[in-house]
A and B are shown apart, each in its own frame.
Chain A
Amino acid sequence: MEVKESILLSGNPSCQGCPHSLGLRALGLALDDPVVIIPAGCSTIVAGIHPKATINAPVLHVPFASAPAVASGIASAFRREGKKKQIVVWMGDGGADIGFATISGAAVRNEDIIVIVSDNEAYMNTGIQSSGTTFWKAKTTTSPTGKSEERKDLAAIMLMHRVPYVATASVGYLPDFINKLEKAKKIRGFRFIQLHSPCPPGWRFDSSKTVEIARMAVKCGAWILWEFDGKLSFSPASRPYKDKMKRTGLTEYLRAQGRFKGIDDSDIETIEKNIDMQWKFLEAFENF
């Protein structure tokens, strides 16, 4: 059996238990020959500080809101040379907020790129500020008493762009993420994956628990794994939780994270309702 080398080298300067490290490692296992475009964010640092580099691939650091546009230009250049490399944008939810028009534009043009949003539900690199995907009631430094609005569903928004491939994934289920990348790499055009990335310092949980927290999010239904490749389907790890009765541990999931300190039972009830709605919404697409 061929064992692929990880593209993420050891000794990278991420925090302990960093979800991006897990995601990048999986990326290297799935893709043969990627070039990686990274806008500002935690991964700017994870990728290493000169003269050290931790990603064993061509890496281009670019301004915050620009990554999918830069990738579009690279795709044009590669096409003219017949170069077959996978062009991967590796960004956070911050890049996805500030650069949303850029992601949307690249999707509309069906650019031949893979955009991965490693979503840790806040602007972590600047020290935990609220983002468009920050969970309702989650405390951040710009929502010190808890975020007052619902998170947006980025992957669903991308689905509405009618691109060939959209999926969600989780660092708690890396084989599923790798499968999705394997599938995505065989498709030409715009491919989008939103990777759920629980962040120990940002969410206030112990750095040994990244995978555990990520799995709890899936089991309680708060993070739903699905993919669209012409048809929307729930991924195996999430499929059981279509049945609401099978979803477990929402309270435990929330209580395990310092960012939800102080939420009460009625808040949890509201969150549960929102989760139900999210499932119904996606089921409607599954049955479409």
Chain B
Amino acid sequence: MSGRTIMTGNQAVAEAVRLARTEVVAAYPITPQTVIVEKLAEMVDSGLLDAEFIRVESEHSALAAVYGSAVAGKRSFTATSSHGLLYMYEMIWWVANARVPLVMVVVTRTIGPPWNIHTDHTDLLTMRDSGWIIAMAENVQEAFDLTINGFRISEEVSLPYTAGMDAFQLSHTSEVVDLLEQQYVDEFLPERRQSYVFGEEAFTVGCIGPNEYTARLRKDTFEALKNTEKVVDKVSREYEEITGRNCGLLEEYRLDDAEYAVVMMGAWSGDAKDAIDELRKESLPIGLLKLRYIRPMPYKKIQKLLDGKQVLVLDRDCSMGAGGILGVEVKNCVEATNIIAGIGGIDVGVDDFIKMFRVFSEGKLEVEKNGVYWWPPEIYDKGMR
């Protein structure tokens, strides 16, 4: 399959994994990621994808298994969501500290209790400090593109890569998507490279070492992830030359002449753009800075782009006791107001954004004492019982 078609985010990711000539897939199903796993299993069974599919018994084992196949030199993929991600958390850190390239898609879903299968971004952002490269898609096309980009970038810097996409809004929603033809993917994605391959020579990986050795490795990883900024720039430019689509670290939307800037990530950015279009009609000078990558976080670029603007950061996630996670991040480089909204999959549509942005631009957003504004206020005021 190639060319323009209509499919859900889950299907598009599976197609990207196939086109990347992934050799090993291990995954455990969890709503709303399940379709990715099923599609890939089908592709392997039917011979459409020449790969091994490992039907593991848990997410911890899913990432452990692809760690094994990746460390032994094979392009490897897994996908998960929410509690599955938390269940594999130990392996998340291990894989990054071991500097093994592989790709995982996280379909972002609320963490319980209460049980909730709808989107928010806290699950993906629990990976923030681990050493993974973390991207987030706005639409099905980006979910596809980032997955392909992920293999390339991960293998170039020897760090694992994750792309997030919102539960249901992308995973289960059909959109028009341009699938890349195999020959272009092959051109873009050279044969797998990695800093070491396990299994041939008698050497030991991961053994106990002096503390200084651990400290040095951490600094190496830190710097490698920082440097990934340049690699994302380079790779996304190359990808743009082939596809005409940019998947760089940031996307600016009507930001140039904006006095008010909204910062956010994920599927709801699309509705925010529509809201901005509406407000622009009323001559409100507002624009958007979409974060496509959370790690590496291009602080300097963000600072430059937001300098002199009134900044509103929208979070669909929360760092308990601190604020919205993106809010905390962006405040590293500019002053910003922070709204937390859409938690637990609450719908936030164009009208909500219009309301939010208007109140913000009028300076009427009553930030609570703790510096964060929870939207929409009526939910929190009434106190559901």
Contact = CB atoms under 8 A, between A and B. Distances in A.
A63 B94 contact: yes
Interface in A68-121: 69-81, 83, 85, 101-102, 104-105, 108-109
Contact of A74 (B60, B198, B201, B202): B198
Number of contact residues on A: which range applies?
Answer: 35 or more
B199 A35 contact: yes
B94 A72 contact: no
Interface string A132-168: 0000000000000000000000000000000000000
In the complex, which of the residues B64, B69, B198, B200 has the most CB atoms of chain A within 10 Å of its own CB atom?
Answer: B64
Interface residues of B, number: 41
A73 B54 CA distance: 8
Nearest to B210: A50
A107 B347 CA distance: 44
B329 to A, nearest CB: 29
Contact of B58 (A35, A71, A101): A101
B57 A101 contact: yes
B80 to A, nearest CB: 14
B199 A62 contact: no
Nearest to B65: A73
Contacts of A60: 68, 71, 198, 204-206
B208 A50 contact: yes
B161 interface: no
A50 B76 CA distance: 28
Contacts of B74: 76-77, 80
A183 interface: no
A132 B26 CA distance: 29
A53 interface: yes
A63 B64 contact: yes
B199 A109 contact: no
B173 to A, nearest CB: 32
Nearest to A104: B57
B37 interface: no
A78 B26 CA distance: 15
Nearest to A109: B55
A57 B199 CA distance: 9
B203 A69 contact: no
B207 A61 contact: yes
B199 A70 contact: no
A102 B68 CA distance: 14
Contacts of B70: 73
Interface string B135-156: 0000000000000000000000
Classify the interface of chain B: helix, strand, loop or mixed: mixed
B68 A71 contact: yes
B72 interface: yes
B213 A50 contact: yes
A76 B26 CA distance: 10
Interface in A168-219: none
Nearest to B73: A77
A47 B207 contact: yes
A71 B67 CA distance: 9
B30 interface: no
Contact of B72 (A63, A65, A78, A109): A78
Contacts of A74: 68-69, 71-72, 198-199
A206 B16 CA distance: 60
A49 B207 CA distance: 6
B203 A53 contact: yes
Contacts of A37: 68
Nearest to A103: B57
A44 interface: yes
A72 B54 contact: yes
Contacts of B207: 44, 47-50, 53, 59, 61
A268 interface: no
Contacts of A57: 202
Contacts of A77: 23-24, 68-69, 72-74, 199
Given A72-B68, A73-B24, A58 B200 contact: yes
B94 A62 contact: yes
A210 B87 CA distance: 39
Interface in B52-66: 52, 54-58, 60-62, 64-66
19 contacts: A47-B204, A48-B204, A49-B210, A50-B207, A50-B209, A51-B209, A53-B203, A58-B203, A59-B202, A66-B67, A69-B56, A69-B65, A70-B71, A73-B26, A74-B199, A75-B68, A77-B24, A78-B199, A104-B57
Interface of B: 23-24, 26, 52, 54-58, 60-62, 64-74, 76, 90-91, 94, 198-210, 213
Given A58-B201, A61-B204, A63-B90, 9 more contacts: A50-B213, A60-B71, A69-B26, A69-B60, A69-B65, A72-B54, A73-B66, A77-B73, A108-B57
